[in-house]
Amino acid sequence: MLERLMDCVKLYQKGEDNKYNPNFITKLLNNYRSHEAILRLPNRMFYENELVACGGDEITRAEYWSQLPNKKFPLIFHAVHGSERRDENSPSVYNDYEVDVVVHYVCALMEETLGGHGIEENDIGIVTPFKYQASIIKIALQQKGLHYIAVGTVEIFQGQEKDIIIISTVRSIVYQHNERFHLGFLSHAKRFNVTITRAKSLLIVVGNPKVLQIDPCWREFIEYCQRNRACRGDNFTLSPLSENEIKKLLNDKMETEECEENLLIPDLKIEKIEESSSNISTNFLSVEERFAAAKALGETLNDWW
């Protein structure tokens, strides 16, 4: 609602002095969470370059980590040309290649110190757009004896922060809708903003550059890391995809498309919800029965999501 007011109502917009009326809008500009290098890109893309990095020593402790390609720039884009897969019993997807890379980074971090302090499991957060990927990463970490690292989707991490954030983007296929190519869940600027601003001192993104470059936000992130010599993993160049490459990426996709499209565009193909809800009549139910019916429908929706 606030965003709509700022777009449509003059009182909530900037005046001639390029400032908001403090009676209606107060924009918080001092950022105490993130290292300046982590904040720089989202600051330019989403906050009109008005944010000021004000964090203390704790946000700079990863500047000289041994595996940083560029010291004092605590970001890494690790290129992986992996394969996106879907389990036959789940609409969610996973990427084994990226799981291996994520676990490698976690183990490397746990063996070192940052800024003279050891790294605890609760210092690390792993973000991925897909629940199935999160589940596989948790299992892989447990096999290494790591049980307390937070692993979850972007929505779970909203409002949270961690010293170290590792992102597994998973996506290795593209979608086409209305003659436009997109990345499903990942083609959402606000979700992108939340994802890359959870880290305090170190941000590592693992993904397929050939696919991610299709989205303007992710392309900017990769280019940002390239300019600062902060890329690792597979060799790659960012260039427009040929017709054959696009065709291959489209042909490689599995049944995930229907699930992705349903979630990306809410008014498409909701027969499953309607079918589930049509079986529940609440006209003559008691309060307890209505509660049970609502709970059953909620569980159905949750499983589908």
Tell me if residue 184 falls in helix, strand or coil: helix
Q: Are residues 115 and 228 in the same domain?
A: yes
Q: Residue 281: give the domain boundaries.
A: 270-304
Q: Are residues 99 and 208 in the same domain?
A: yes
Q: What is the pTM of this model?
A: 0.81
Q: Which two tokens stand for residue 227?
A: 């300019």
The pLDDT tens digits of the residues spanning 180-212 come to 888 987 899 999 999 999 999 999 999 999 999
Task: Give the pLDDT mean for 9-29.
Answer: 91
Instruction: Give yes or no for residue 265 having a pLDDT over 60.
Output: no
Total domain count, the chain = 2
Q: Are residues 128 and 98 in the same domain?
A: yes
Q: Are residues 142 and 280 in the same domain?
A: no
**CA 104-106-112 angle, 5° bins:** 105
Instruction: Give yes or no for residue 287 having a pLDDT over 60.
Output: no
Instruction: Give yes or no for residue 259 having a pLDDT over 90.
Output: no
Would residue 216 count as lying in a domain?
yes
pLDDT over 70, % of the chain: 82
Q: Are residues 277 and 177 in the same domain?
A: no
Q: Are residues 120 and 213 in the same domain?
A: yes
Instruction: Give yes or no for residue 244 having a pLDDT over 80.
Output: yes
Q: Are residues 255 and 300 in the same domain?
A: no
Which pLDDT value is given to residue 180? 83
How distant, in Å, are the alpha carbons of 204, 266, 272 from that of 79?
11, 32, 37
Would residue 209 count as lying in a domain?
yes
Quickly tell me which residue has 């990927």 as its tokens.
133
**CA 216-32-188 angle, 5° bins:** 20
Q: Are residues 99 and 230 in the same domain?
A: yes
What is the Cα–Cα distance from 298 to 267, expressed in whole angstroms?
A: 19
Report the amino acid identity of residue 158: Q
- Of residues 223 and 241, which shows the higher confidence score? 223
Q: Is 122 exposed, middle or buried (0-12, 13-18, 19+ CB in 10 A)?
A: exposed
Q: Are residues 161 and 231 in the same domain?
A: yes
pLDDT band at residue 253 using 50, 70 and 90 as cut-offs: low
What is the Cα–Cα distance from 122 to 128, expressed in whole angstroms?
A: 17
Q: Are residues 119 and 148 in the same domain?
A: yes
Q: Are residues 248 and 277 in the same domain?
A: no
pLDDT band at residue 292 using 50, 70 and 90 as cut-offs: low
> Nearest-CA neighbor of 81 among 97, 60, 59, 68?
97
Lowest mean pLDDT among 33-37, 135-139, 280-284: 280-284
Instruction: Give yes or no for residue 232 having a pLDDT over 50.
Output: yes
Domain holding 99: CATH number?
3.40.50.300
Listed in sequence order, the residues at least 6 apart from 284 whose beta carbon sits closer than 8 Å to its beta carbon are none
Last residue of a domain, one of 224, 242, 260: 260
